[in-house]
């Protein structure tokens, strides 16, 4: 039995050795591939973060410059500030402060300029300009506070100034109503009289023309030439008087109606106290 098993053991040893070498080679290849992959992928996150931040700050800076040129200073200041947060470059913080100053956001500008100086930038010109802008902001705020205090000091309080004393005047209304009604009456009478004179003169003129026509057509002497001329002059005179009377009557009627419609007009004397004394004003209402 031992003799039969020996050849089998001698034949199985090479196969085991071949399988072991193949497994070892495959494992080495797998380990090498994994190591190469890790070497290639390992540095990427470390390098990608600064690049991504730089790209974000660059895009924010471009947009902030466009907003600054367009006069949208608050938006420009916010974008410059976000670029500073991404890169920590003091120049972006200076730009944010300058945009805030141009937009009259003096508190934000003061904060950003002071923070810019705290970072101790290497640019001496930037530091000098930041201090100059801080001085300008302080002067503007001081002038605004002084002006506001002066206005509040000069304005009289409501309790110190009594209400205006207004005295109504009714002298105009006493004569206005009778005069307006008188004008309406006189105007109506004059216009009616003028109309009556015009109708009467027109009728007499038609009658005179009829008489003169009969004289010419039938040869009947019903009226002499002198009488006809006198009657014609009388008719023309009455027509002229009718026109004048009608015109004057309509004018008087219109004036009377206007005065009646404007009877609500009133005048008042207002006495208003001021810091320099008393001011008197006539108030007229139609």
Q: Is the pLDDT of residue 147 over 80?
A: yes
127: tokens are: 């530091």
104: tokens are: 């009259």
Predicted local confidence at residue 9, as pLDDT:
45
- Give the C-alpha separation, 130 to 121, whole Å: 11
Angle at 134 between CA 128 and CA 136, to 5 degrees: 105
- Give the C-alpha separation, 173 to 266, whole Å: 8
* CB-based contact 102:110 (threshold 8 Å): no
User: For residue 280, what are the CA distances in angstroms to 12, 269, 270, 273?
Assistant: 133, 7, 6, 9
Q: Is the pLDDT of residue 162 over 80?
A: no
pLDDT digits (tens, 9 = 90+) for 21-40: 555 555 556 555 555 544 44
Predicted local confidence at residue 260, as pLDDT:
73
Contacts with 232 (C-beta within 8 Å, 6 or more apart), sequence order: 205, 208
Predicted local confidence at residue 100, as pLDDT:
94
Q: If 0-12 CB within 10 Å is exposed, 13-18 middle and 19+ buried, where does residue 60 land?
A: buried
pLDDT digits (tens, 9 = 90+) for 237-249: 888 988 888 888 8
Averaged pLDDT of the chain: 74
Classify 140 as helix, strand or coil.
helix
* CB-based contact 68:37 (threshold 8 Å): no
pLDDT digits (tens, 9 = 90+) for 207-230: 777 777 766 555 555 667 777 788
221: tokens are: 């002497």
- More reliable by pLDDT, 41 or 121: 121
- More reliable by pLDDT, 142 or 8: 142
- Give the C-alpha separation, 256 to 244, whole Å: 18
- Provide the residue count of the chain: 286
Q: Is the pLDDT of residue 7 over 50?
A: no
Q: Is the pLDDT of residue 116 over 90?
A: yes
Least confident window among 96-105, 157-166, 187-196, 256-265: 157-166
- More reliable by pLDDT, 148 or 271: 148
Contacts with 212 (C-beta within 8 Å, 6 or more apart), sequence order: 223, 228
Taking phi first (over 0 means left), then psi (-120 to 50 degrees means alpha), and beta for anything else, what does residue 219 get?
Answer: left
Share of the chain above pLDDT 90, in %: 26
Could you tell me the pLDDT band of residue 12, with boundaries at 50, 70 and 90?
A: very low
Cβ contacts of 133-136, under 8 Å, gap ≥ 24:
133/97, 133/98, 133/101, 133/109, 134/110, 136/101
User: For residue 162, what are the CA distances in angstroms to 78, 166, 272?
Assistant: 51, 12, 8
Predicted local confidence at residue 129, as pLDDT:
95
Predicted local confidence at residue 280, as pLDDT:
63
Closest to 209 measured CA to CA, from 195, 197, 201, 243 = 201
Q: Is the pLDDT of residue 152 over 60?
A: yes
């Amino acid at each position: 039995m031992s003799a039969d098993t020996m050849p089998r053991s001698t034949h199985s040893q090479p196969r085991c050795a071949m399988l072991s070498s193949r497994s070892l080679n495959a494992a080495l290849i797998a380990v090498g591939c994994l190591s190469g992959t890790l070497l290639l992928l390992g540095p990427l996150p470390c390098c990608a973060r600064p690049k991504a931040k730089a790209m974000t700050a660059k895009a924010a800076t471009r947009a902030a410059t466009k907003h600054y040129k367009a006069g949208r200073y608050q938006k420009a200041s916010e974008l410059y500030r976000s670029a500073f947060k991404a890169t920590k470059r003091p120049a972006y913080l200076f730009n944010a402060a300058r945009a805030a100053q141009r937009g009259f956001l003096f508190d934000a500008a003061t904060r950003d300029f002071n923070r810019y100086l705290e970072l101790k930038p290497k640019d001496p010109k930037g530091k000098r300009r930041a201090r100059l802008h801080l001085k300008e902001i302080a002067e503007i705020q001081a002038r605004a506070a002084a002006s506001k205090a002066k206005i509040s000091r000069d304005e009289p309080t409501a309790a110190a100034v009594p209400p205006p004393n207004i005295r109504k005047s009714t002298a105009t209304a006493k004569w206005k109503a009778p005069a307006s009604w008188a004008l309406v009456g006189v105007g109506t009478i004059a216009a009616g009289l003028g109309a009556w004179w015009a109708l009467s003169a027109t009728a007499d003129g038609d009658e005179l023309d009829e008489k003169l026509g009969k004289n010419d057509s039938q040869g009947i002497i019903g009226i002499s030439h002198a009488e006809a001329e006198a009657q014609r002059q009388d008719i023309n005179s009455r027509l002229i008087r009718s026109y004048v009377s009608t015109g004057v009557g309509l004018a008087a009627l219109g004036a009377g109606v206007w005065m009646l419609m404007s009877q609500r007009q009133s005048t008042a004397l207002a006495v208003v106290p001021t810091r320099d004394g008393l001011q008197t004003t006539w108030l007229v209402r139609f």
